[in-house]
């Protein structure tokens, strides 16, 4: 095995360990978060999702899985990624501040009973924390995907909110677990709303 192949193997093993540790700790909170989202969707609500960088991609990934489909052929579910409208993002950042790019959208689009999926590997993204604060003011519950010590986002959550905090300090490992958590949420939502078959 070459040095590079050995490095790849080590990275795979690190990812596997991070997911195994996360599964042991986070399964109850993942179920609680899925229940929260399913209740909102069943009542005619929607899910708004936000994050920066790789977390923005995760927010978009989640919204697309709900709006289109995950593994089950079923009707689309209402979800909006707040990361995709470049005109809105740049106008808010220019006229107000980058910290407000998500919170302004939450105040305009969010309704009581909706859910905010707030994704931040550190929990310290000011615009994601601001989005949660706007969501709380509008009567939305927040499901937060974080890592490390949860940061300001974890500290700001209320008792009705759900934090899924990955027990890792490595950004790459946190992001890898976040993606798996997103797939777990999609699967549990489908199973709860449409009776999806157990995963193969």
C-alpha 194/C-alpha 200 separation (Å) is 17
Is residue 90 a known part of a binding site?
no
Is residue 53 a known part of a binding site?
yes
Going by the DSSP 8-state scheme, the letter that residue 17 receives in this structure is: H
3-state class (DSSP) for residue 22: helix
- Cβ atoms 118, 142 nearer than 8 A: yes
C-alpha 63/C-alpha 49 separation (Å) is 7
Is residue 122 a known part of a binding site?
yes
Is residue 52 a known part of a binding site?
yes
Is residue 61 a known part of a binding site?
yes
Angstrom distances, CA of residue 58 to CA of 6, 34, 119, 146: 29, 16, 8, 12
What is the residue-wise DSSP string for 136-195?
HHHT-EEEEEEETT-HHHHHH--TTSEEEEES-S-HHHHHHHHHHHHHHHHHHHHHHHH-
Is residue 9 a known part of a binding site?
no
Q: Does an H or E element contain 141, and which? A: strand 141-147
Is residue 161 a known part of a binding site?
no
Residue positions in the annotated binding site for Zn(2+)?
Answer: 61, 65, 175, 183
Binding-site residue set = 52-54, 61, 65, 94-95, 120-122, 125, 175, 183
Residues within the annotated binding site for substrate? 52-54, 65, 94-95, 120-122, 125, 175
């Amino acid at each position: 095995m070459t040095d590079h192949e050995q490095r790849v193997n080590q990275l795979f093993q690190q990812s596997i360990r991070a997911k195994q540790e996360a599964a042991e700790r986070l399964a109850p909170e993942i179920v609680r978060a899925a229940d929260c989202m399913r209740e909102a969707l069943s009542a005619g609500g929607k899910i708004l999702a936000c994050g920066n960088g790789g977390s923005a991609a995760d927010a978009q990934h989640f919204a697309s899985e709900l709006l289109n489909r995950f593994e089950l052929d079923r009707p689309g579910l209402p979800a909006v990624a707040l990361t995709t409208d470049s005109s809105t993002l740049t106008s808010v950042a220019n006229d107000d501040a980058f910290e407000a790019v998500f919170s302004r959208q939450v105040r305009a689009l969010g309704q009581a009973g909706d859910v905010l999926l707030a994704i931040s590997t550190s929990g310290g993204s000011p615009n994601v924390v601001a989005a949660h604060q706007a969501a709380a003011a509008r009567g939305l519950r927040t499901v937060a995907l974080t890592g490390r010590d949860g940061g300001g986002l974890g500290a700001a959550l209320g008792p009705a909110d759900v934090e899924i905090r990955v027990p890792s300090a490595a950004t790459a490992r946190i992001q890898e677990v976040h993606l798996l958590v997103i797939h777990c949420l999609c699967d549990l939502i489908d199973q709860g709303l449409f009776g999806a078959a157990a995963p193969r």
